[in-house]
Amino acid sequence: MASRKESGAAPSAIMASVGGSLDSPVKQIQIEGLVVLKIIKHYQEEGQGSEVVQGVLLGLVVDDRLEITNCFPFPQHTEDDADFDEVQYQMEMMRSLRHVNIDHLHVGWYQSTYYGSFVSRALLDSQFSYQHAIEESVVLIYDPIKTAQGSLSLKAYRLTPKLMEICKEKDFTPEGLKKASIGFENMFEEVPIVIKNSHLINVLMWELEDKSTVSDKHELLNLSSSNHLEKSLQLLMDRVDDMSQEIVKYNTYSRNLSKQQQQKHQYLQRRQQENTQRQSRGEPPLPEEDINKMFKPPQAPPRMDTLLIAGQVNNYCQNVKEFTSQNLGKLFMVEALQGNN
């Protein structure tokens, strides 16, 4: 059974020779239509169900616009292929593209998703490595399930500057995240995408649209969406269960910390009373002791996983909201068509 790593292989090693920096952040992404077709084809050939496919994005930066002009997939290999070097493979691919005068600069990576399930620690770590090495790097998320419903689902994300600082310091404690004002809503920033095609391709698309039959257009009003909605709600409930477990862990930590603080306060009061009694009897006070060694604070659970779960729950809710609003629109349109008939 083929297996695939969830994050790109050593992006910093690949991008060290092509790295650069931007004076201003990327505000728009322009992607060639051929790149979109390559990503879709990659999933259709290698993606099976919830299996994730990934690849490298190539292009260049013009002012505050990132132009993605080419891509190539990460190879699929089994666990027995221990001698396979992904970094060497990517370097060879970019060297070959450079020899035929094709844009070969590394500007990010892409990944497919299963019902919008892409907010994870693996994606966070991988995008941090890319964005730390090259500031303009982005990750494209392709959702084949949504695309099969009739509209292309392709979104670009970057880590916010606040989250980049937290990842650099590796301070994922509750105090560190609170100090940086990091919440699930400001972990990732979405960058608008514009798909660019040549004039010949635009003419071809107009011809294909003219040749399409009326019955094909009516398929857009198909209301058979129960499976999609049911699966989305099931995934949402699973993540809510994970969130409840994280809340239990944090509540346990809070209770243990409060209990220890009470014990520490009681110990200090007893010690102060005993020193007062010894002073009244003319005896020397008790020797100083390291309170922190006697009462070691409990280990705080990392909060980054909780933020990622909250971000994924929010993503599921947005997907359900978008999907149900589209279906309501279809119902009104079908009702209007039936009334006219």
DSSP string computed for 83-139: T--HHHHHHHHHHHHHHTT---EEEEEEEE-STT---SHHHHHHHHHHHHHSTT-EE
Which of 6, 5, 28 has the alpha carbon at shortest distance from 119? 6
Q: In what order do the strands lie in the sheet with 138-142?
A: 188-191, 154-159, 138-142, 105-112, 54-62, 65-73, 28-32, 193-196
Q: Which two tokens stand for residue 160?
A: 């916010």
Does residue 330 carry a pLDDT above 90? no
pLDDT average, residue stretch 162-181? 83
227: left (phi over 0), alpha (psi -120 to 50) or beta: alpha
**Bridge partner residues of 195 (DSSP):** 31
Contact 110, 81 (CB under 8 A): no
pLDDT at 220: 61
Structure confidence at residue 39 as a pLDDT band (50, 70, 90): very high
**Bridge partner residues of 31 (DSSP):** 68, 195
Does residue 142 carry a pLDDT above 90? yes
Please return the burial class of 267, using the count of CB atoms within 10 Å of its CB with bins 0-12, 13-18 and 19+.
middle
pLDDT at 11: 54
Cα–Cα distance, 99 to 95 (Å, whole number): 6
> Which run of H or of E encompasses 217?
helix 214-218
Ranking 40-44, 124-128, 193-197, 334-338 by mean pLDDT, the lowest is 334-338
pLDDT at 75: 77
User: In the structure, how many helices (H) and strands (E) does the chain have?
Assistant: 12, 8
pLDDT at 3: 40
Instruction: Give the angle subtended at the CA of 259 by the CAs of 256 and 262, to the nearest 5°.
Output: 150
Name the percent of the chain lying above pLDDT 70. 82
pLDDT average, residue stretch 324-335? 77
Q: Cβ atoms within 10 A of the Cβ of 279, count?
A: 11
The model's pTM is: 0.74
**Taking the C-alpha atoms of 35, 92, 156 and 117 in order, what is their torsion angle to the nearest 10 degrees?**
100
Structure confidence at residue 169 as a pLDDT band (50, 70, 90): confident
Structure confidence at residue 263 as a pLDDT band (50, 70, 90): confident
Structure confidence at residue 73 as a pLDDT band (50, 70, 90): confident
Ranking 136-150, 208-222, 230-244, 303-317 by mean pLDDT, the lowest is 208-222
Cα–Cα distance, 337 to 334 (Å, whole number): 5
